[in-house]
Structure 1
Amino acid sequence: MNVLEIRGLGVDYQSATGAVHAVDDVSLDLRRGEILGLAGESGSGKSTLAHAVGRLLRPPAAITGGSVTFHRGDGTAVDVLALRNEELRAFRWREMAIVFQSAMNSLNPVATVGAQIDDVLRIHRPDLPRRSRTERAVDLLQRVGISADRRRSYPHELSGGMRQRAAIAIALALNPEIIIMDEPTTALDVVVQRDILYEIRALREEYGFAVVFITHDLSLLMEISDRIAIMYAGRVVETGGSRDLHRHPRHPYTAGLLRSFPRLRGPREELLGIPGTPPDLRDLPSGCAFHPRCGSAVAECSTRPPRLLDGVACLLNDEKGIR
């Protein structure tokens, strides 16, 4: 059962030269309790999509179309894009929470981590007495691997990994159905990355929330995700189970991403990066946006944009396109 449905979502940034289509006609489903990975190069629209779903965009960004529907456990549906300010305030943290890319920037530098958890509880659960809020803060910090005495620590007194764990604890404060994690392990060393990934999976098993995990590191998503969506130039170009994408990528861009990191097993292979650079969203190539960098492109790729059919947007897989 889906807990979140995104249909035809579009986001534009207004610039002096016109609208920049950062997210273009994106449709995705998030199933209850699953981890959905969202991957792509920098500038592919991953974070903009996440911020649009959480209604966190600010001018010059604007949602230009589509819908975002949240399905509660009791069967009721919420039109997220239609929520008014007070409704949106109640929806955030209680139904959907976000862990941002840099915990040092997202945490309040002049408040202890315990106080920041308490703020969420005090605002959204005014019925909870102070002692219960304190006990809840201690419990959350311990569940993400932070000792109780660190409740009185300020963000600058914590390591990068601990700050990220504290941000996850804040997101868990109200037991939301969905947690969006926007590159939560960026700039952390690989050992801390792995610890946090294990923690996320363990917490998901315990609490049953669904996760949208955003990163440019496809190898990371192979470890943690149930399904993966690949974005390029503001569009989803392939979706599928993490094992299927790893073993049988169907879009040339996905295959290029997979060739960009070494295999741990099997014969040695030369690492082959994707030639060229991501396109300028102000001046996208005609047809398929990936065709100037694609080794499998044919003439029709430069004139006809592919549709997302059976989980892949490539003319080579389009039943009405090229065989």
Structure 2
Amino acid sequence: MNVLEVRGLSVEYAAPGGAVHAVSDVSLDLRRGEILGIAGESGSGKSTLAHAMSRLLRPPARVTAGAVRYCPPDDAEPVDLLTLDRAALRRFRWKELAVVFQSAMNSLNPVSTIGAQIDDVLRTHRTDMSKADRRERAVELLGRVGIDPERRRSYPHELSGGMRQRAVIAIALALNPQIIVMDEPTTALDVVVQRDILHQIKELKDEYGFAVVFITHDLSLLLEIADHIAIMYAGRVVETAPARSVHEAPRHPYTLGLVRSFPKLHGPREELLGIPGTPPDLRSLPPGCAFHPRCRFAVDACRSHRPGLLTTDDGVQVACALHDASVYAGDLPAELSPREETR
């Protein structure tokens, strides 16, 4: 069952040289209790999508089309977040949807203790809680994310980077939301701390039952924690599939490039391919498929046909002319074909 449904979402930034189409016609489903990973290079539209889903966009950004529907757990009618007024949006945030940003130091108030910032959320949204109950809840949350409850009296600058990120996660959990959007929450951390936090996110997700939208440029990280993965390129989703399928049998050439750009610790040795060139200018995309100038599998149809997401026989969605029999009649490259174990 879905907890969040994104349909045809488009976002642009007003700019002197013309509008930058940062997100174009994106549709995604977030299932209840699952982790949806969103991956892609810098500039692919990941963070803009996260801000649009959370109603955190600021001018010159604006949503030009689409809907973001939240499906309450009590089977009530879905709510389009893009239509909520300020009062309704204020009630919705933290209680149903919380956000964890990349830089914890920028998210936390530098002149307020960690405990006071948790208390602020509870005092605003849970007016029925006493001061003692709020303090007890803060202690509980800090303990659940691996921080000594005594550190609730600490200011952000007195904590390490990993502890600050854990504190932000504790604040996000304060009201037991149904959805947590995490925008590259471990990027600035070392790999040991990163792994600890990822493990903790999975434990908390299983314990509390919330769903996660996890955004990162590191596909190898998503392959460890995500249930489903959406790959973005030039503001569009080019592939959505279970994490195992993305790892073992990527269907889009861009996804294949991302998978082949980092070494595997197990299995046979493979040549690291990488992706040549640079992402396109979002103000002036190339005709046809935006990836075709960098694609080693490009055919004539790629230069004129802009593919939409097609669903393959095994349920993978891919936007590639090579998978569309109506525009390409040749054989599918072996590297982009489904493997028997992924079916």
Same fold by TM (over 0.5)? yes
Partner residue, 2:334: none
Deviation at 1:265, TM superposition (A): 1.1
Tell me the residue number matched to 1:39.
39
In the alignment, the residues of structure 2 paired with residue 253 and residue 269 of structure 1 have an alpha-carbon distance, to the nearest angstrom, of: 17
Instruction: Tell whether 2:278 aligns with 1:272.
Output: no
Matched, 1:176 2:177: yes
- Matching residue of 1:317: 323
Q: For 2:123 and 2:2, how far apart are their aligned partners in 1?
A: 30
Q: Deviating runs (4+, > 4 A) in structure 1?
A: none
Give 1:79 deviation, angstroms.
Answer: 1.2
Residue deviations 1:76-97 (CA, integer Å, cap 9, x gap): 2111000000100111000000
Match of 1:87 in 2: 88
2:75 aligned with 1:75:
yes
| RMSD between aligned residues | 0.7
Q: Deviations over 1:96-152 (max 9, x none)?
A: 000001001111111111110000000000110000000000100000000011000
Partner of 1:262: 263
The 2-side partners of 1:121 and 1:25 are apart by 36
Q: CA deviation at 1:266?
A: 2.3
SS in 1 for 2:189: coil
Match for residue 57 of structure 1? 57
Once the two structures are TM-superposed, the CA of residue 267 in structure 1 deviates from its matched residue by 3.1
Counterpart residue type for residue 293 of structure 2: P
Structure 2 counterpart of 1:96: 97
- Three-state SS of the structure 2 residue aligned to 1:260 is coil
C-alpha distance in structure 2 between counterparts of 1:249 and 1:202, whole Å: 28
Q: What TM-score, normalized to structure 1?
A: 0.99
The answer for unaligned runs of 5 or more in structure 1 is none
In structure 2, what is the Cα distance between the partners aligned to 1:74 and 1:99? Answer: 25
Distance (whole Å) between structure 2 residues aligned to residue 261 and residue 187 of structure 1: 19
Are residues 1:288 and 2:294 paired? no
Q: Residue in 2 aligned with 1:113?
A: 114
Provide Cα deviations, 1:22-54, integer angstroms capped at 9, x if missing partner: 000000000000000000000000000000010
What SS does the corresponding residue of 2:310 show, helix, strand or coil? coil
- Amino acid in the other structure paired with 2:65: G
2:11 maps to which residue? 11
1:205 counterpart residue number: 206
**Matches of residues 172-251 of structure 1 in structure 2 within 5 Å?**
172-251=173-252
Superposed CA deviations along residues 226-251 of structure 1, whole A, max 9, x for unmatched, are 00000000000000000011001000
Q: CA deviation at 1:271?
A: 1.7
Q: Tell me the residue number matched to 2:130.
A: 129
Q: Using the TM superposition, give the Cα deviation of residue 269 of structure 1 relative to its aligned residue in structure 2, in angstroms.
A: 2.8
Shift of 1:299: 1.1
Distance 1:308 1:320 in 2: 14
Distance apart, 1:300 and its partner CA: 1.4
The equivalent residue for 1:148 is 149
Q: Which moved more, 1:263-272 or 1:103-112?
A: 263-272
Unaligned runs of 5+ in 2: 312-316, 330-343
Deviation at 1:71, TM superposition (A): 0.4
AA at the equivalent of 1:151: R
How far 1:268 sits from its partner (Å)? 2.8
The answer on whether the counterparts of 1:260 and 1:272 sit within 8 Å (CA) in structure 2 is: yes
Alignment of 1:22-37 (within 5 A): 22-37=22-37
CA distance in 2, matches of 1:159, 1:19: 40
Contact 1:307/1:318, CA 8 A, preserved across alignment: no
Distance 2:11 2:214 in 1: 20
* Matched residue SS, 2:143: helix
Cα distance per residue 1:133-176 (max 9 Å; x no partner): 00000100000000011000111000000000000000000000
- SS of residue paired to 1:18: coil
